[in-house]
Structure 1
Amino acid sequence: MVPESALPLGMAGLSTRFRAITAAVAAALGPEAGPGRGTDASGFDPSGAQFDHDVVTFLLQVLGEGRPVYLCSETYPEPFVSAVAAHLGVFTAWGVGPGGQSSSVPREQLPPSLNQGFDYIGSATVALPGSASRVVRPGRSGPAGPARASVRNWLKLFRVHQYAKNALVMVPLLTAHKFTLASAATSLLAVVAFSLCASAAYILNDLLDIKADRAHPTKRNRPIASRVVPASQAVGAMGLVLAVAFAIALSISVEFCGVLFGYLVLTTSYSFWLKRITTVDVVVLATLYTVRVIGGAVAIDVPISEWLLAFSLFIFMSLALVKRYIELASQPDGAVLAARGYQVDDKSMVAILAAASGFNAVVIFTLYISSDTVRALYSYPQLLWAGCPILMYWISRVMLFAQRGLIDDDPVTFALKDRASWVALGAIGVIMLAAI
C-alpha cells in the first residue's frame, strides 16, 4: 500500500460489526490525471486515475457484509475527494479534514462507531487512536513501488495479436504460384519485418493517444495508458524493434526496405494527422493493408498484380468502414467520434459505403477470373467461380454481425478468431490450389 504522503489520496472505510473497521485505498495518479497537493481539484477527472484493485476489492467485500465504508482525507480538497468517491461508488460516506480546505463531514460529525475503534488501511505515518488498528496487506509492509511490466504486458504493448494481419505479405507467394523454399523463407522474414515495424507504429500511436485512451472505457487498460509500461521504456522499445525491422528488411533487399519505409511513413502520418480526417482515415487504413501485399511481391521479386491491388484496396476499404461503423454504433445519439470527425448520424452512410466497397471487391474478383492473366496461371480457371459465393457470404456475414453488435472492434481481428471465417478462407485457398 502506498502511503498517503506519497500519493494524492487516502481513502478510509469502517465497520460497526463487532469492531469498527477503517480501510484506506491509495490512488496512484500521474501528474496529468490529478491535481497537485493542495491545489483546486474541481477539474479532476477520476476516469483517468488508476486505483489499487486489491484494496477496492477488499472494500467491496466489506461493504457486501453490510458494514459501512467511509472515505477520509486530510490532504486533498473536497471536490477531489468527492469526485473519487462518486467514481468508485463503494463508500457509505466521505469527508475531508482541515488540510482539505473544507469539510463536508467534520470530524465531530463522523459516526460514533469511529470512537468505538476501527481498522485502518492507509498511510503508515498516520497516528491512530488506541482503539484503532492497522490492516496490513500481505507482502506490503512498506511503500510499494511501481509494478514491473510482465511479459504479457509487453506483448500487449507490441500488439502481437495483430501480427496475423501481416500474413497478407505472403499472398503474392500464393497468387504468383512461387512455391519454393527460398521464396517461402523470404516471405516469412518479410512478415517478421512488417510485424516489428507495425509494433513500433502501435507504440507511437499509444504514446500520442495517452490522454484519449485514459478516457476510453477499454483503451484505458493499454499498457502505457494504465502506466504499467512507463512511457520512457516504451520509447526505447519502439526504437529497438524499429532497428531490428529495418535490419531484416535490408537483408532481403533494398527495394523491400524502401517499401517498409513507405509503410512506416504512411502509418506515422496516420497516427499524427491523417486519422483525424473523415474518410481519409479509412482510405489510409485500406492502403496500409495493400502496402503489405506490395511488400510481399517485392520481397520475393514477382510482378505486382494490378488485379490483386484493386481487390485489396476495395476489400480492406470495406473492413475499415465496418470498423468505423462499429465505433459509431457504440456512441450515444448526437455524439462525435473522438479525434475522427464522424458523427453518429453518419452511421447509415458508413454502412452503405462498407457494403459497396465489399461487393466491388467481389466484382473485381469475377473480372479477374475472366482475364487473360488467369488463363496463363491456372489450368482450370472455371473452378475459381466457386470462390465468389463464399466471398459474398463472408462479406454479408461481417456486415450483418456488425449491425447486430456482435463484433466488438476490429473486423479483421474478429475474422481471425471466427471459425466460419477460417472455413471460408480455407475453402477459397483449396479452390485456388485445385484450379492450378
Structure 2
Amino acid sequence: MSETTPLVLDVDGTFLKTDLLYECLWAGLGRAPRETILAVIRHFRHPARLKAELARIAPLRTDLLPVNPDIADLALRSRMAGREVVLASASDRLLVERLAAEYGLSGRVFASDGETNLKGEAKAAALVAEFGERGFDYAGDSAADLAVWRHAENAIVVGPVRSARALSADGANIVEIANGWKFRALIRAMRPHQWVKNVLLLLAMIAAHRFDLQTLIPVLWGMVAFSAAASSIYIVNDLIDLEADRLHPTKRLRPFASGEVPIVVGMGAAAGLALLAVAIAAWLGWAFLGVLVFYMILSLAYSLKLKRMRWIDIATLAALYTVRVVAGAAAGKVDVSIYMLIFIYPVFITLGCVKRLTELTLAKSDERLPGRGYSRADRGDLLNVAVLGIVGALVIFFLYSISEQGRQLYPTTWLLWVAMVPMAWWLNRMVLLGWFGKQDYDPIVFAMRDKFGLGLLMITLSLMFWAAGLWAKWFGL
C-alpha cells in the first residue's frame, strides 16, 4: 500500500464492531420508545432521514462504542506513516464526524446527510469524485462495499464476504482481515445460567403435593418455555442497556456491549426465542399462554421503563418471580393457594432489595447506578425494606400454618413453626451477603449455587414434608 494514498474506512462492522443505525434504534427504544417507533414507521422507506432522526432522538456516546482492534491498529500505523485516514459510512454524518474527531482521524468524512444514503454506488461515486479512480484504499465488511472496492487501489476485506471473491477474479489487490462472531458468545448472551430461576415453576406443584408425571411433564415444558422467553427478554434488555453496560466494570464485557456479537444477530435470536416460547405455551393451554404473555409484556416494560424507577423496579422484579409460580400452577393444572402467593411476594421483595444492595455495595462511586434510580445513599432504605419483607413473609407463613387450608395439608402444625427458623436464617443471610457485597448480582442465581443456603432451604422443605406426613407416606417414617 502506498504511504500517500488515503486510507478510507467504512464504519459499521469495519472500524466499529457494531452498527450505528441499530445502536441509535435501541438507544431510542430505551430513552424515548414512542418517538423512536413513530420515527421508524414514518421514515422506514427513507433510510438517510431515518438515521438522522434516530441520531437526534438518542445521541450516542461514540467514545464508548467498541472498536475493531485490527482496523484501529491499521489506522494508527497509517497515520504514523503520514497517510490520511478517512471515515466513509452510510451512518449519519453527525455521528461519523464525532467518531473521526475522537480518534484523531481526518476531518474529511463521507456519510449520510439526511437526504442521501451514502451506501454502495453512492459512496463509490463520492469517493471517486474526491480522490479519483484508484486514488484510495478502502476497508469494508459487506456485499454493499463491492461497489466501492471496484474503484479502490487496494481492497481491504474485513470478515467473510462471499461477493468479494469476484474481486479476485478481476485481479484486484485484496487484503483480508479476519472478523466475525462466535455462536457460543450468542449462547452466553442468552444467559442460560439464569434458567435456574424457572425452578420456581415447581413450587405450586410441590405445595399442592402433586408429584405425579402427569403434573410434572407439563411443568417441565413450561420451564422450557419460560427459559426461552426469559432469554429473549435478556437479549432485548442488553440491547436497550448498551450504553449503561459499557459504563459498568463487568457488564461492558457482555456480547453486545463489547461488539462480540452483532446487534442484528441478537435481534433475530430474540425474535426466534420469543416465537418458540409462545408456541410451547400455546400447546400447554390458554391459561399458561396468558401467564407467559403477561410475563413477557411485564418483562419488556421493566426493560424499557420500570427498572429506572425507584422502588417500582423492585416491586416489578418481585412480580416477575411470583408470575413464575402462577405459571407452574397453570402448566400443571394445580390450584395455587392465595396464602402462597401472598407469602412469596414479600420474599421476592426482599431478594429484589438484595439485588440492588449488592450492586450498590460493589459500585465504584457514589453516583447513581447507570440506568437505575439508586445510589449508595439508598442502601439504608433498601435494607429496611428487605427486613420488612422478611417480617411480612414470616407472619404470613405463620397465619397460613393455623389456617384451615394449612392444617389440612400440614396436620403437624408445630413442624411448620420449626421450619420458620431455617427459613428466617436463609433470608437474613441473603440480606447480609448483599449488604456486604458477598454474592452475585442476581440473588436467585446465587441462591442456587450457595451450598450453605441450599442446605437451609432443604432443611426447611424437609420439615414441611414431615409436617405434611409425606415422609411417613413415602418411606414409612
Name the TM-score, length of structure 2 as normaliser: 0.65
Distance in 1, Cα, partners of 2:78 & 2:181:
31
Counterpart of 2:32? none
Counterpart of 2:65? 48
Asked if 1:304 is matched to 2:336, the reply is yes
In structure 2, do the counterparts of structure 1 residues 314 and 71 end up closer, same or farther at CA, with 3 Å as the change threshold? farther
Residue number among 404, 408, 415 corresponding to 1:372 in the alignment: 404
Counterpart of 2:421? 389
Secondary structure of the 1:169 match is helix
Asked if 1:342 is matched to 2:359, the reply is no
In structure 2, do the counterparts of structure 1 residues 44 and 155 end up closer, same or farther at CA, with 3 Å as the change threshold? closer
Q: Give 1:263 deviation, angstroms.
A: 0.8
Counterpart of 2:176? 143
Distance in 2, Cα, partners of 1:268 & 1:357:
25
How does 1:30-69 map onto structure 2 within 5 Å?
30=18, 32=20, 46-50=63-67, 52=69
Contact 1:256 1:298 in 2 (8 A): yes
Contact 1:76 1:100 in 2 (8 A): no
How does 1:155-304 map onto structure 2 within 5 Å?
155-304=187-336
Distance in 1, Cα, partners of 2:217 & 2:305:
36
Contact 1:48 1:215 in 2 (8 A): no
Distance in 1, Cα, partners of 2:187 & 2:19:
27
Contact 2:302 2:316 in 1 (8 A): yes
Secondary structure of the 1:148 match is coil
Asked if 1:399 is matched to 2:439, the reply is no
Deviations 1:318-349 (CA, angstroms, capped at 9, x unpaired): 11111112222233554122222223211211
How does 1:110-125 map onto structure 2 within 5 Å?
none
Name the TM-score, length of structure 1 as normaliser: 0.71
In structure 2, do the counterparts of structure 1 residues 213 and 44 end up closer, same or farther at CA, with 3 Å as the change threshold? closer
Distance in 1, Cα, partners of 2:355 & 2:311:
12
In structure 2, do the counterparts of structure 1 residues 379 and 47 end up closer, same or farther at CA, with 3 Å as the change threshold? same
Contact 1:149 1:229 in 2 (8 A): yes
Contact 2:18 2:262 in 1 (8 A): no
In structure 2, do the counterparts of structure 1 residues 124 and 7 end up closer, same or farther at CA, with 3 Å as the change threshold? closer
Deviations 1:356-397 (CA, angstroms, capped at 9, x unpaired): 212321222222222221211124232222221111111121
Deviations 1:96-126 (CA, angstroms, capped at 9, x unpaired): 79x579xxxxxxxxxxxxxxxxxxxxx999x
In structure 2, do the counterparts of structure 1 residues 81 and 264 end up closer, same or farther at CA, with 3 Å as the change threshold? closer
Distance in 2, Cα, partners of 1:242 & 1:70:
45
The runs of 5 or more residues in structure 1 that have no matched partner are 9-25, 34-42, 57-68, 85-95, 102-122, 126-140
Counterpart of 2:118? none
Report the structure, 1 or 2, having the larger helix content.
2
In structure 2, do the counterparts of structure 1 residues 296 and 82 end up closer, same or farther at CA, with 3 Å as the change threshold? same
Q: Give 1:70 deviation, angstroms.
A: 13
Contact 2:232 2:274 in 1 (8 A): yes
Deviations 1:142-175 (CA, angstroms, capped at 9, x unpaired): 432432323x212212111100101101101100
Q: Give 1:298 deviation, angstroms.
A: 1.6
Secondary structure of the 1:143 match is strand
In structure 2, do the counterparts of structure 1 residues 157 and 332 end up closer, same or farther at CA, with 3 Å as the change threshold? closer
Measured on the aligned residues, the alpha-carbon RMSD in Å equals 3.3
Q: Give 1:310 deviation, angstroms.
A: 1.0
Secondary structure of the 1:217 match is coil
Contact 1:7 1:29 in 2 (8 A): no
Asked if 1:424 is matched to 2:468, the reply is no
Distance in 1, Cα, partners of 2:308 & 2:64:
23
Counterpart of 2:386? 354
User: % of aligned pairs identical?
Assistant: 32
Q: 156-165 vs 298-307, which deviates more?
A: 298-307
